[in-house]
Amino acid sequence: MSSFLALLQRELRAYFVSPLAWAVSTFFLFVQGLSFLMIVSFLSDPRAAGEVTPFVILFTSFFFWITLIFVTPMITMRLVSEERRSGTLEILLTSPLSETQMVLAKFCAAMIFWCFLWLPTVLYPLIIERYSDVDWGPVSSGYLGVLGLGSMFLAVGLFGSSFAKNQIVAAAATFAMMMVFFLVPWFGSLATGETLQLVFGYADLLSHMEDFSKGIVDSRRLVYYLTTTALFLFLTVRAVEAKKWR
Amino acid sequence: MSPNETKSQRPGAIAQGSLLTAGVVVVLALFALVNYLGLRHYERFDWTGSDIYTLSEKSEKIVQGLDRDVQLIVLLDPSAPSYAQVDELVDRYVAANPARIVRRDLDRAKSALEFQQLVADLGIESANTLVIESEGDKRVVNQYELVEYDYSAAQMGGSPKIKEFKGEQEITSAILSLVEAEKPKVVFTIGHGETTLEGSTSQRSLSEARRLLGRDNFEIDTWQSLDEPAVPEGTDLVVISAPTTRFTPPELESLSRWVGDGGRLLVFLEPSFEAGTTALKDVGLSEWLAAYGIETARNVVIDPGASVAFFGPDTIYTDAFGSHPVVESLAQTRAPVMLAGATSVNAGEGPEGAQIEALVSTTDQAWGETNVSEEGVAQDAEDLSGPLGLAVAVALGGNSEHTAANSETDGSESDESAGESRIVVFGDLDFATDSLLAQGANSLLFVNTFNWLVEREELIEIEGRMPEQTQLTMASGEIYSLGAVVLLLMPGSALFLGIWIALRRRR
């Protein structure tokens, strides 16, 4: 456990002393801030239909998905590939730390950084509350969706990083895998069979976030995020293990 | 590495590789299995403060009690204004009973032939509909029946806002109409100048009321009570709507027998005038209703405390409701109803065991105007003072003393196993006409009354939902300040920290 915590600490330090992580934070907060400002301007227009709450837009807008697509590979790209490039992976693999513990420590560090990125955005509902009533239920479920999606894509990113020596290759691989997830609604629109439509509908992330942002928490979404996260973490462990016997 | 080592390691690597592959296959199978189970057995939770995405208890009860499969076929185009609400609502119904309710989305591009065939079968004009199907029977809900819009913002160049989403009322009613074994039969008396649902007079049209009753699966018929002495067989509810001429004693005896045998009666009274005079007419029901504890009067209710601007003094609104099931939900939401030219109906002394409750009342500033003239209205000594009742509901237990008394006087035999008799009397019918039915909670009051009278309490209280809306009132200066915080200060702080860390590391 102490080895796990030591690695977690090391990973967190690596995030917070890295200028890249702060550049990512700057980009993230700027894009989210821009999105929030546009929502506020829209809702302040008396002609606006006002049929949505600001958080439905915040958690489902183009800006939300753009940040998700670009930020998660940037968070995970160096996690294993950097160890591989610098040769420290072999040292880690011969340490008392198991491969599973190593992967989990790196994943937990990425999740903590993901939460850190989103933390300042809690200010947005607090600002809205000054001018209008805020229903904190949908705000909380929106953040739950952010956590679920984040954990899934960070696991995908960790897997992408596990088989590449180069960080850029790792980010590109993650981006490519994430695109497959985003193409699900398109596959669904092509599918004619009811079963296929059901499967694609089940994995449609856009509709998932729509529900979360409205305040609907569906156990199917949570099962999907948790199992996908677990699957990619398992694959990452196996990819790291393979390094040992290859 | 020596050639011998390579040879000895190769089988080990192959074994490791096989083990890895097998492990991945097992985990993938496990992943598929857990997701399959998750897809089959799931729960939806509504975290909104107002439970806006939760089915009403009534709908939930009906849906969970289904004993046959129901298919919800969505023919709505995803670009339709109500699509998002319908999409979510249909999912809610499926989640409430996944074993019985199946959702089906019919895409007009992908399933063009099936789509066209269904549209032709249903004979629908607009393809933007929701079809509820069960064992071959189908009900169609048009997109315009699902949403009520508020066009007031359109005057300022804004888009219409969704005022009320009535999807749950429409879908639950459609499901009920498909699975209900028998349609409740409602007969409207004719022959006394009544306003019926069949036709409209120059003053009153009840076409929208008829649509609502049809939606709730009521079968509507008429009863010429002068020709046929007994209430037609199979009748569940008799409605007397705004008669202008008197009921004869044999007709009243028929009605007494009907009520005594556990029948249900709904009376809409309207003040009417003697020909060529301003004297209010007696339609001969006052004495008969008084025996059931319902006091009516020949007056027009005036309520300066609840008058409606730009309307006459006899048009009033009220949110003074009793605690009766018919108005319970209205009392909770304080949704007002609007009435025009009503006559007072108060709860009086009824037979023993009768439960008499006022449904709707006026303010205490009201009075019952008896001297209607062109000079205007003013309270006189003979006028009843407010608060005045505008509607009263009576429930009589089976075989009450009153029933027995009626049987003795008319020589008829009362049904010993008769259930509870129910009577509702309104001092107004105009609230249910096309011009006023959409106002306030008028339609809810109208439909709730019918459903309570035929003991379909499960359909009472399904109200339209107001979508969650946010309107901010921020001045442009405040928006600029906000922009400075969220676009400069917050990302700027992160940038500053990043630069500071980079500089420190360089040192």
* Mean pLDDT confidence for B76-99: 87
One domain for residues B118 and B163: yes
Residue of B nearest to A228 (CA): B31
Which residues on B lie below 8 Å from A214 (Cβ)?
48, 53, 88, 468
> Which residue range is the domain that position B271 belongs to?
183-459
* Mean pLDDT confidence for B474-487: 86
* Mean pLDDT confidence for B78-86: 81
pLDDT surpasses 90 at B273: no
pLDDT surpasses 80 at B237: yes
Q: Could you tell me if B395 and B354 are in contact, meaning their C-beta atoms sit under 8 angstroms apart?
A: yes
Looking at the domain assignment, is residue B12 inside a domain?
A: no
pLDDT of residue B452: 92
Highest mean pLDDT among A71-80, B141-150, B324-333: A71-80
From the list A53, A217, A224, the residue facing B45 with the nearest CB is: A217
Which residues on A lie below 8 Å from B498 (Cβ)?
19, 21-23, 25-26
Q: How many residues does chain A have?
A: 246
Which residues on A lie below 8 Å from B50 (Cβ)?
135
Complex ipTM more than 0.85, yes or no: yes
Looking at the domain assignment, is residue B398 inside a domain?
A: yes
Residue A137 touches partner B, C-beta closer than 8 Å: yes
* Mean pLDDT confidence for B223-248: 90
pLDDT of residue B459: 65
Average pLDDT of the residues of chain B: 81
From the list A135, A227, A230, the residue facing B48 with the nearest CB is: A135
- A198-218: b (≥16 Cβ within 10 Å) or e: ebbbbbbbebbbbbbbbbbbb
Residue of B nearest to A215 (CA): B47
CA B177 to chain centre: 14
Percent of chain B with pLDDT over 70: 83
Residue B469 touches partner A, C-beta closer than 8 Å: yes
One domain for residues B353 and B430: yes
Looking at the domain assignment, is residue B99 inside a domain?
A: yes
**pTM across the whole model:** 0.69
One domain for residues B349 and B443: yes
Number of domains in chain B: 2
Q: Could you tell me if B479 and A44 are in contact, meaning their C-beta atoms sit under 8 angstroms apart?
A: yes
Answer whether B470 sits within 8 Å of A128, measured CB to CB.
yes
Q: Which of B151-160, B274-283, B452-461 is predicted least confidently?
A: B151-160
A38-60, pLDDT tens digit by residue?
Answer: 888 888 776 665 556 778 888 98
One domain for residues B242 and B321: yes
Contacts of A161 (CB under 8 A, 6+ apart): A76, A77, A78, A79, A80, A81, A167, A170, A174
One domain for residues B339 and B452: yes
Beta B294-296 vs B345-347: how paired, if at all?
antiparallel
- B23-32: b (≥16 Cβ within 10 Å) or e: eeeebeeebe
Beta B237-241 vs B185-190: how paired, if at all?
parallel
B357-375, pLDDT tens digit by residue?
Answer: 999 999 888 888 887 766 6
pLDDT surpasses 60 at B153: no
pLDDT of residue B403: 43
Answer whether A23 sits within 8 Å of B498, measured CB to CB.
yes
Looking at the domain assignment, is residue B36 inside a domain?
A: no
Residue B149 touches partner A, C-beta closer than 8 Å: no
One domain for residues B346 and B402: yes
Looking at the domain assignment, is residue B308 inside a domain?
A: yes
pLDDT surpasses 90 at B147: no
B284 versus B484: the higher-pLDDT residue is B484
Which residues on A lie below 8 Å from B35 (Cβ)?
202, 223-224, 227
pLDDT surpasses 50 at B5: no
* Mean pLDDT confidence for B213-224: 84
A152 versus A58: the higher-pLDDT residue is A152
Last residue of a domain, one of B121, B146, B174: B174
B305 versus B35: the higher-pLDDT residue is B35
One domain for residues B162 and B208: no
pLDDT of residue B161: 64
